């Protein structure tokens, strides 16, 4: 049977299509009946689902989530897991069900098909060619975090899924009538006159009484919980405080120079500026146009035009803003063609067109130095500055450590010991974790130390933006639910915001009821409301910066002259009440232009819907027959451990 299916693709398609229709039919029955979870009493606590002798574990789900969000800003945020765990597990189960069913039918993925797929993955290509086996393993690990074996197994599964998808969706069609209706839906235009009800307009109208505010606060007290706050005593030892105490004599600088001569050997180097015309990713016609532009710029330079100004105007390199300046470069620092040209030039010369892998360059040589040993006089300034910096750092460290040692034996004498050491003692205001503190910043080293210390305890010296700091924990205010007086201003602001939404909504409802049987503009004027008229808009257009046309669907279904109910727009409690001014039929000439695109988009939509239905019903059938066992308790426990993070 399997050999027959493999050799007869049409037979496979017919067989799968019959199977697909049966699955959908069964699915219609299943969706109307409860689906049992199977016997999970003997399922291990880390197993979320089992099918065909293999398990989907909590570790598998966690890896899938990490892989899915690998390059996302949310990758390290544990709170994302409860939101996506159920959906991604369902995807994994459906994918496993498809693979199991595909194997039952004898559908597989050959090594040749796998190889062809690998060679179409952009990050496995270099200059259009497969990177080769040497770099393959490292690149897979870097991009996916998976081993080659796991990556190829997953890729095979996806290719198998694509084969089944192709068979399931091959018969999906879109009728000319559907295309026509979608064209009308997308391109019919509406124009409305409207009144916008914005809660911000009613904030000042909200009446705030002591009782109302107290009641509001009592209902939402936990939302105003105050986090733990801390206060520290501190001193900051800045480099400027110690600079006068540190001296570097010429003799010391000369001795350092003699002992580190190798550090002052200058290799052959050139100081250059350039103008780059990028050609990477361009076709031959585009490259020819770029070369013509480069030749024109070179001609201008040879004619006396300012190199720096042309670089700012025409260069594609990041150095353009600096007039093309690259500064000093040594051999081996840039590509060979650029290097060979630059080192062969004389100061003041401008090259011809130089082609590299990056594009076409025009190079200007500004200065050139032959390899030599810097004299002491040349290096003296750098040596003195480096030695001074090093000695200041040593002095900072010693002073901070000595201060900490003194405090450990006399922790209640912070201010006296600080002044005795020539330091200025200060006390911070109360601050929360993550809140910046003047002089101390909000770096991890400060925050972690401040929130680990016990009251009166002194921390080890830490680096802060202004230098070295020593802190002592002065006070702790624990997390607590505040009194109304502590947060009155914030509570009143929130109360006004909530009441203004209700007030705005009531005004909108009243107006909508009035204009059902009256003159829209006259009633609005009598109520002191502003009427605006929109431009013609389609479902895809943005309406006056308020919402997309698709979010105001009644604008296309109401008759001209009819008024709407209250239509929420844009969040924040804002809403519209409108009257339809006109409808405009689409330009029939556009139908021929849009027909193919609309057809393809509708096909994609219907194919995705058909395949999703197939996957859901296949999963349901596997549950029904006992081939798939689900462990909902394990999923709930998995989600619960991340909910409070």
Q: What is the pLDDT of residues 75-95, one digit of tens each?
A: 455 667 888 888 999 989 988
User: Do 195 and 510 meet the contact criterion of CB atoms below 8 Å apart?
Assistant: no
Domain layout of the chain by residue ranges:
2-172+604-643, 189-220+487-584, 229-245+386-477, 268-370
Token pair recorded at residue 340: 């060979």
* The predicted structure's pLDDT at residue 481: 92
SS3 52: coil
d(CA 521, CA 515): 9
Which residue positions in the chain have pLDDT lower than 70?
1-44, 70-79, 643-645
Q: Are strands 462-464 and 467-477 parallel, antiparallel or unpaired?
A: antiparallel
Q: How many residues does the chain have?
A: 645
* Residues β-bridged to residue 473: 232
Q: What are the residues whose beta carbons fall under 8 Å from the beta carbon of 408, sequence distance 6 or more?
A: 458
Q: Write the secondary structure of 521-569 as one string of H (helix), E (strand) and C (coil).
A: HHHHHHCCCCCEECCCECCCCEECCCEEHHHCCHHHHCCCCCECCCEEC
Q: Where are the beta strands (DSSP E) in 245-309?
A: 265-266, 269-278
* The predicted structure's pLDDT at residue 43: 52
Q: Where are the beta strands (DSSP E) in 129-217?
A: 129-130, 189-197
* pTM, to two decimals: 0.55
* Residues β-bridged to residue 548: 542
* Residues β-bridged to residue 361: 276, 354
* The predicted structure's pLDDT at residue 122: 83
- End-to-end CA, the chain: 53
* The predicted structure's pLDDT at residue 62: 87
* The predicted structure's pLDDT at residue 281: 83
User: Do 363 and 276 meet the contact criterion of CB atoms below 8 Å apart?
Assistant: no
Q: Which parts of 31-147 fold into alpha helices (H)?
A: 58-68, 80-104, 111-118, 133-144
* The predicted structure's pLDDT at residue 9: 46
* The predicted structure's pLDDT at residue 584: 95
CATH number of the structural domain 2-172+604-643: 1.10.4030
Fold of 268-370: Chitinase A; domain 3 (3.10.50)
pLDDT tens per residue across span 491-549 = 999 999 999 999 999 999 999 999 999 999 999 999 999 999 999 999 999 998 888 99
What does each C-alpha distance from 615 to 96, 99, 165, 523, 621 come to in angstroms? 10, 11, 10, 54, 10
Eight-state DSSP code of residue 571: S
* Residues β-bridged to residue 628: 51
* The predicted structure's pLDDT at residue 645: 56
d(CA 569, CA 197): 10
Domain 229-245+386-477 sits in CATH 3.20.20.70: no
SS3 15: helix
User: Do 580 and 568 meet the contact criterion of CB atoms below 8 Å apart?
Assistant: no
d(CA 385, CA 238): 16
Eight-state DSSP code of residue 228: P
Question: Using N-to-C axis directions, what is the helix angle for 632-643 and 58-68, rounded to 10°?
Answer: 50
- Identical fold, 229-245+386-477 and 268-370: yes
């Amino acid at each position: 049977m399997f050999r027959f299916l493999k050799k007869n693709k049409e037979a496979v398609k017919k067989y799968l299509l019959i199977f697909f229709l049966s699955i959908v039919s069964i699915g219609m029955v299943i969706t109307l009946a409860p689906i049992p979870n199977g016997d999970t009493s003997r399922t291990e606590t880390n197993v979320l689902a089992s099918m065909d002798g293999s398990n989907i574990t909590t570790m598998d789900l966690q890896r899938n989530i990490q892989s899915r969000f690998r390059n996302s800003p949310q990758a390290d945020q544990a709170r994302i897991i409860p939101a996506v765990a159920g959906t991604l597990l369902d995807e994994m189960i459906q994918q496993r069900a498809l693979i199991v069913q595909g194997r039952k039918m004898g559908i597989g993925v050959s090594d040749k098909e796998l190889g062809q797929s690998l060679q179409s993955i952009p990050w496995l290509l270099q200059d259009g060619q497969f990177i080769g086996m040497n770099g393959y393993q490292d690149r897979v690990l870097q991009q996916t975090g998976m081993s080659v074996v796991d990556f190829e197994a997953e890729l095979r599964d996806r290719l198998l899924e694509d084969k089944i998808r192709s068979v399931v969706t091959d018969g999906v069609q879109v009728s000319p009538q559907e295309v026509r209706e979608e064209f009308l839906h997308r391109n019919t235009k509406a124009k409305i006159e409207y009144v916008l009800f914005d809660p911000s307009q009613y904030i000042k109208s909200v009446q705030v009484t002591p009782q109302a505010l107290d009641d509001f606060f009592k209902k939402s007290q936990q939302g105003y919980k105050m986090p733990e706050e801390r206060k520290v005593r501190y001193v900051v030892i800045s480099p400027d405080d110690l600079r006068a105490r540190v001296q570097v004599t010429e003799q010391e600088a000369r001795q350092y120079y003699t002992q580190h001569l190798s550090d002052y050997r200058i290799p052959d180097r050139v100081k250059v500026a350039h103008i780059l015309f990028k050609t990477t990713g361009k076709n031959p016609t585009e490259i020819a146009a770029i070369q013509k532009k480069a030749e024109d710029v070179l001609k201008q330079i040879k004619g006396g035009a300012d190199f720096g100004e042309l670089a700012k105007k025409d260069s594609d390199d990041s150095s353009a803003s600096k007039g093309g300046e690259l500064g000093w470069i040594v051999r081996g620092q840039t590509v060979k063609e650029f290097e060979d040209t630059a080192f062969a030039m004389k100061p003041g010369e401008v090259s011809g067109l130089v082609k590299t892998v990056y594009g076409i360059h025009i190079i200007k040589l500004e200065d050139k130095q032959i390899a030599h040993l810097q004299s002491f006089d040349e290096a003296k300034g750098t040596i003195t500055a480096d030695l001074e910096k090093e000695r200041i750092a040593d002095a900072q460290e010693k002073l901070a450590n000595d201060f900490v040692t003194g405090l450990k034996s006399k922790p209640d004498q912070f201010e006296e010991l600080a002044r005795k050491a020539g330091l200025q003692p200060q006390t911070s205001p109360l601050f929360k974790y993550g809140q910046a503190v003047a002089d101390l910043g909000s770096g991890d080293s400060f925050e972690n130390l401040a929130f680990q210390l016990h009251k009166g305890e002194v921390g080890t010296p830490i680096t802060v933006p202004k230098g070295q700091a020593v802190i002592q924990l002065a006070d702790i205010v624990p997390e607590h639910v505040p009194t109304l007086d502590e947060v009155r201003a914030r509570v009143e602001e929130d109360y006004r915001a909530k009441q203004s939404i209700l007030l705005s909504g009531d005004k909108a409802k009243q107006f909508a009821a009035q204009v059902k049987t009256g003159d829209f503009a006259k009633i609005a004027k009598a109520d002191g409301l502003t009427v605006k008229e929109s431009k013609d808009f389609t479902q895809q257009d943005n309406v006056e910066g308020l919402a997309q046309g698709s979010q105001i669907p009644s604008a296309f279904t109401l008759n001209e002259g009819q008024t709407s109910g209250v239509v929420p727009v844009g969040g924040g409690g804002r809403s519209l009440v409108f009257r339809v001014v006109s409808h405009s039929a689409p330009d029939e000439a556009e139908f021929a232009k849009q027909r193919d695109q609309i057809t393809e988009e509708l096909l994609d939509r219907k194919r995705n819907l058909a395949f999703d239905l197939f996957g859901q019903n296949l999963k349901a059938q596997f549950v029904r027959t006992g081939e798939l066992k689900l462990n909902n308790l394990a999923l709930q426990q998995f989600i619960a451990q991340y909910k409070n993070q």
